[in-house]
Structure 1
Amino acid sequence: MSSDTARITPLLKDSTSITMGTEITIVIPVYNRAHTLGRTLRSIEGQKVSPARVILVDNNSTDDSWETMQRWSNHMKECGHDVMLFKERKTGACAARNRGLREVETSFVMFFDSDDEMLPDHVADFSEAIRKNPTCDIFGRSIECEEADGKRRKLYFTAKSPMFNHLFRGCLSTQRMVIRTELVRQTGGWDETLPAWNDYELGVRLLLATDRIMDIGGKTTVVTHHLADSITGTSYSSRHEHWEKSLDRVEKHFINIGRKDLARLTDARRMVLASQYRSEGDTCEENQMRKNAIHQAARLYAEVIDKTDSPWKMKAVYLHNRLFKRLTWALARIIFPLG
């Protein structure tokens, strides 16, 4: 039993959250997160307004995750809260999320990760925004990201130019949004063929289906922890095929609806990714990993240049990111105006 798991039972005795009307269900996929799951569950229990239901889906964990989920579920049920546990044998967070989605009965759903935490006002703030704006389909808010070294940075959500900002800034990442349940179902749910950046791809489908999106503003109420064993991890070049598969899928969505302007943006996003590969090559100490990062950067760069009708713009995006490492979205906003 992990130390985090061992601490969960005594902390559960002092639950002070309020059960009141809310249209939000929380769905959490879990895979070998006994070392972080206690933190996530305690943060849900500490909400000033409790969610209507919490759905935990174990995805073939081999550690103590299932036992942690059971203990927490039993306690919460004793306190009158609605918690459901499931096991999903099909591998992948998307399959686990879709399993949980099938059990959602509320109008809105919040997909959360088992290594992140929400501050006490999180559910309350989104519930109030939904109450005041019942016709909106997507509600979002900026979050804090804590890196492995303990440093934090803000990851922004914005409802302005949502497609552009999502493509370049990932505004509709899992932890930043609450979505109308029927919208997720109508757009096909989570794509179980994508091993990573699946919320990136889902966000594109959501934005192609609705423009009723709202930034609820206010202080950040989620801290996401960037861990080496998370889905995103800490290296891009070592799993290049994962990110690029999602970008390919997004580009296909745009081509299918005749939006060449948006498809062009996916090439610009590939150039940012190529720059990230190359930056990893600059800093990697292990020789083979360094060579692979440099190779993947050169390959992806060449692929974009060979296919694009705007080679100088693509080169500008790449060079900007190589030089400054950030704010490349601002340059892209200028040189790639949307029609």
Structure 2
Amino acid sequence: MMEITVIIPVYNREKLLPRTLASVVAQTYRPLHVVLVDNGSTDRSLAVLQEFCDKYAAPDFRVTVCEELNPGAPSARNAGLRRATSEWVMFFDSDDEMGARLVENYVSAIGKNPDADIVYTDMKIVDDAGRSMIKRSPRKGGIHFLCGNIFHTYFSTQRYVVRRDVIETVGAWNTETFGWDDWELGIRLMLYTSRIVKAESSEPQVIVHAHADSITGTQYSDKVDKLLACVDEAEKHVRASGLRDADILLNCLDYKKIVLASACRREGSMRGEQLFHDVLRSTPSRKVKAVFVSGYWLASRGVRGTARVAERLFRLF
């Protein structure tokens, strides 16, 4: 049977690791190769990883524990990728959970679509109060799918499995991007291949726990420049892609900045207003400017769904 490699970077997750690792052991699919990369933890995370390896490693459940001293999850994920030998790899965060059938569902979708390069799925987000929200992704569908990924990150870290040679070809994880590094990689993957399929499930098999020190935290103002750097990288790749609809994608990327600006404004940061005007000054089209202005005004007041409306308008212009 086909082996799947699961790569998990770890930094100071001693207390949360047992939940994540238990969900990996509970997978209904074998064989698995679990690569656990400690990224310079100062707590007992590395010891927890080694204990896990000693307890659960088996011929059909290989466990590799390694260290990556260069800081940042992208560096740690690349270190794990270098240790993968399987055709297919997936990434997961050390504070989230896998539903028991996550890998099984991926492998089933691969079996039904042998030419696929990427298989993605839905996820559920759970906050500290136990409230949950399901984030569903549409089936693949041309420019609409590409635009939707810009706004909704269908390829967040935990939500897909990919051929190892494909992720290596696009350059793997960008170690110069932080915050939206999975979003930036997802755009590169989408620009590279259209052989993408969805693994359907009645209940999401990816459970993301949003908490104060999670990668999926809610503060924007203190990291706006790092997030903008991710958008700038994405713009470079779109411009170099030669896609017929590149202008639509570029407008969507600029609107991503508008959404970020509105988030900063809601947090009381003047950086949001500055970013908003920067985007307007670089936009020659009056129609697009009008979308940006109305979108910023609405999103700043907490109105949801503006990105979806903006995308539809950009495809009409």
TM-score (norm 1): 0.87
Q: Does 1:115 align with 2:100?
A: no
Give the superposition deviation at 1:78: 5.2
Q: 2:33 aligns with which of 42, 49, 53?
A: 53
Give the superposition deviation at 1:267: 0.7
Aligned residue in 2 for 1:320:
298
Aligned residue in 2 for 1:247:
231
Letter in 2 for 1:276: A
Aligned residue in 2 for 1:303:
278
Distance across 2 between alignment mates of 1:336 and 1:324: 22
Distance 1:80 1:313, change over 3 A: closer
* 8 A contact 1:157–1:172 mirrored in 2: no
Letter in 1 for 2:259: V
Q: Does 1:271 align with 2:258?
A: yes
Letter in 2 for 1:166: N
Distance across 2 between alignment mates of 1:119 and 1:221: 4
Give the alignment's Cα RMSD to 1 decimal.
1.6
Q: Does 1:165 align with 2:148?
A: yes
Aligned residue in 2 for 1:208:
191
Distance 1:210 1:80, change over 3 A: closer
Give matches, 1:223-262, under 5 Å.
Answer: 223-258=207-242, 259-262=246-249
Letter in 2 for 1:133: N
Aligned residue in 1 for 2:104:
124
Letter in 2 for 1:119: G
Distance across 1 between alignment mates of 2:20 and 2:104: 17
* 8 A contact 2:167–2:189 mirrored in 1: yes
Aligned residue in 2 for 1:7:
none
Aligned residue in 1 for 2:67:
87
Distance 1:125 1:176, change over 3 A: same
Letter in 1 for 2:304: R
Distance across 1 between alignment mates of 2:125 and 2:23: 16
1:20-65 CA distance string (max 9 Å, x none): x233110000000111111000001111113520000000000010
**Residues matched between the structures, number:** 307
* 8 A contact 2:261–2:275 mirrored in 1: yes
Displaced runs of 4+ in structure 1, greater than 4 A? none
State the identity as a percent. 36
Give the secondary-structure state (helix, strand or coil) at the position aligned to 1:174. coil
Letter in 2 for 1:333: E
Distance across 1 between alignment mates of 2:155 and 2:31: 21
Give the superposition deviation at 1:163: 1.1
Structure 2: runs of 5+ lacking an equivalent: none
Letter in 1 for 2:314: F
Distance across 2 between alignment mates of 1:133 and 1:148: 37
Distance across 1 between alignment mates of 2:241 and 2:255: 19
Whose RCO is larger (CA < 8 A, sep 6+)? 2
Distance 1:117 1:338, change over 3 A: farther
* 8 A contact 1:51–1:123 mirrored in 2: no
Give the secondary-structure state (helix, strand or coil) at the position aligned to 1:235. coil
Distance across 2 between alignment mates of 1:156 and 1:129: 17
Letter in 1 for 2:315: P
* 8 A contact 1:197–1:232 mirrored in 2: no
Structure 1: runs of 5+ lacking an equivalent: 1-20, 282-292
* 8 A contact 1:262–1:338 mirrored in 2: no
Letter in 2 for 1:182: D
Give the superposition deviation at 1:185: 0.3
Aligned residue in 2 for 1:72:
52
Distance across 2 between alignment mates of 1:211 and 1:306: 34
